[in-house]
């Protein structure tokens, strides 16, 4: 009986013929569903391309495109994202997702596609891995189909905005937390925290997801090894360093503005050598509701006609659209 109990804890099983064979590993289970996931991903990628010629990039995307082009041309790391409705800068995570499209394509309407498609495929595999763990392979494939071909899934496959990139980070964070509980290994907690930190760098709206970890720990009490969390903290600090350095010069006013959801009350431009007058954002609203910027360093200017706000692209972006 003692030997039988020992065998139950080994990663071995006995076949009907009496031969011993190893239980399939997690990566083998994942590989068994990969063709189905890739098929859904290919179909979703094609559907997400429908009507791409009619998609004019929103004016909020233009600063991200400019930062991506600067990263490619000069290697300068992006240190700020778009400007929020509170007149504060977001983290520049979306710039990294936009960069592959800017590097590959010359058509601005496709700049988002490579980054959004990569996150879409990552989300599909994350859904499959999470559902396969608890519901089996067939239910996991059904979950992949339901998300991958849904309105939300197809929108996420073709856009980096409206918080769609959060899907990928949340799914994989939950998967790592589930493995942390099931296998009682702190390495999975470290991966969950790193996924959360990376997701926050793209959209700060992912911040509440951190509450999953203390709630899970209170219910299941999985182990926590601080030694494994130190490298994760260093990696997260490395990811956030450009933005934190930029915020340190501004007194972290942008972070406070987004956390407490209040206007920053600071000039938008932070160009070195610019006078306060030249940097001042003219916070006046025109009749159509658009902000009129008086920033001399802005590459994006907005105009209004009645209630319609249209982005006016400057420099090479204007030329690109004219050629297209």
Q: Is the pLDDT of residue 211 over 80?
A: yes
Nearest to 197 by CA among 229, 160, 240: 240
The whole-number average pLDDT for the span 114-132 is 96
* Phi-psi map region of 291: left, alpha, beta (phi>0 left; psi -120 to 50 alpha): beta
CA 2 to chain centre: 50
Higher-confidence residue of 275 and 145: namely 145
The whole-number average pLDDT for the span 180-192 is 95
pTM: 0.73
Q: Is the pLDDT of residue 208 over 90?
A: yes
Instruction: Report the range of poorest mean pLDDT among 66-70, 95-99, 146-150, 269-273.
Output: 269-273
- State residue 286 phi and psi, 5-degree precision: -80, 170
The whole-number average pLDDT for the span 97-109 is 93
Where does the chain show beta strands of DSSP type E?
A: 12-14, 20-22, 284-285, 291-292, 300-305, 308-313
Nearest to 127 by CA among 115, 112, 143, 111: 143
Question: Could you read off the pLDDT of 218-276 as tens digits, one per residue?
Answer: 999 999 999 989 999 999 999 999 999 999 999 999 999 988 888 876 555 444 444 33
The C-alpha angle with vertex 310 and arms to 307 and 312, in degrees rounded to 5, equals 150
Q: What pLDDT is recorded for position 265?
A: 67
Q: Is the pLDDT of residue 285 over 60?
A: no
User: Do residues 262 and 86 lie in contact, with contact meaning Cβ atoms separated by under 8 Å?
Assistant: yes
Q: Is the pLDDT of residue 322 over 80?
A: no
Q: Is the pLDDT of residue 146 over 90?
A: yes
Q: What pLDDT is recorded for position 31?
A: 67
Average pLDDT over the chain, rounded to whole? 78
Q: Is the pLDDT of residue 278 over 70?
A: no
Nearest to 317 by CA among 103, 73, 65, 4: 65
Q: What pLDDT is recorded for position 274?
A: 42
Q: Is the pLDDT of residue 183 over 50?
A: yes
Q: Is the pLDDT of residue 200 over 70?
A: yes
Question: Could you read off the pLDDT of 22-49 as tens digits, one per residue?
Answer: 334 455 556 678 899 999 999 999 999 9
Looking up tokens 């007194």 gives 251
How do the domains of the chain map onto residue ranges?
26-260, 279-323
Query: What is the share, in percent, of the chain residues with pLDDT greater than 90?
Result: 57
Instruction: Using pLDDT thresholds of 50, 70 and 90, give the confidence band for residue 59.
Output: confident
The whole-number average pLDDT for the span 161-187 is 93
């Amino acid at each position: 009986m003692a030997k039988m109990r020992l065998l139950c804890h080994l990663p071995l099983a006995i076949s009907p013929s009496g031969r011993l064979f190893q239980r399939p590993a997690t990566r083998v289970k994942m590989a068994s569903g990969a063709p189905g996931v890739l098929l859904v991903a290919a179909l979703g990628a094609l559907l997400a391309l429908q009507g791409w010629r009619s998609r004019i990039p929103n004016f909020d995307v233009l600063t991200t495109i400019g930062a991506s082009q600067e990263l490619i041309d000069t290697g300068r790391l992006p240190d700020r994202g778009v400007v929020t409705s509170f007149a504060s800068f977001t983290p520049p995570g979306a710039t990294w997702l936009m960069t592959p499209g800017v590097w590959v394509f010359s058509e601005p309407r496709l700049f988002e596609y490579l980054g959004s498609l990569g996150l879409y495929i990552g989300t599909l595999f994350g859904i499959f891995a999470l559902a396969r763990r608890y519901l089996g392979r067939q239910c996991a494939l059904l979950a992949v189909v339901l998300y991958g071909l849904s309105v939300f899934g197809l929108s996420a496959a073709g856009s980096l905005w409206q918080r769609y990139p959060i899907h990928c980070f949340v799914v994989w964070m939950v998967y790592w937390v589930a493995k942390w509980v099931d296998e009682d290994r702190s390495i999975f907690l470290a991966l969950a925290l790193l996924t959360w930190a990376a997701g926050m760098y793209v959209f700060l709206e992912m911040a509440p997801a951190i509450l999953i970890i203390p709630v899970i720990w209170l219910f299941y009490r999985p182990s926590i090894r601080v030694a494994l969390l130190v490298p994760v903290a260093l990696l997260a600090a490395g990811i956030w360093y450009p933005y934190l350095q930029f915020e340190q010069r501004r007194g972290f006013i942008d972070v406070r503005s987004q956390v407490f959801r209040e206007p920053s009350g600071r000039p938008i431009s932070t160009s070195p050598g610019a006078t306060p007058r030249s940097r001042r954002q003219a916070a006046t609203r025109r009749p159509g509701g658009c902000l009129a910027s008086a920033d001399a360093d802005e590459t994006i200017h907005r105009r209004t006609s009645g209630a319609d706000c249209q982005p006016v692209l400057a420099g090479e972006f204007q030329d690109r659209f004219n050629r297209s």
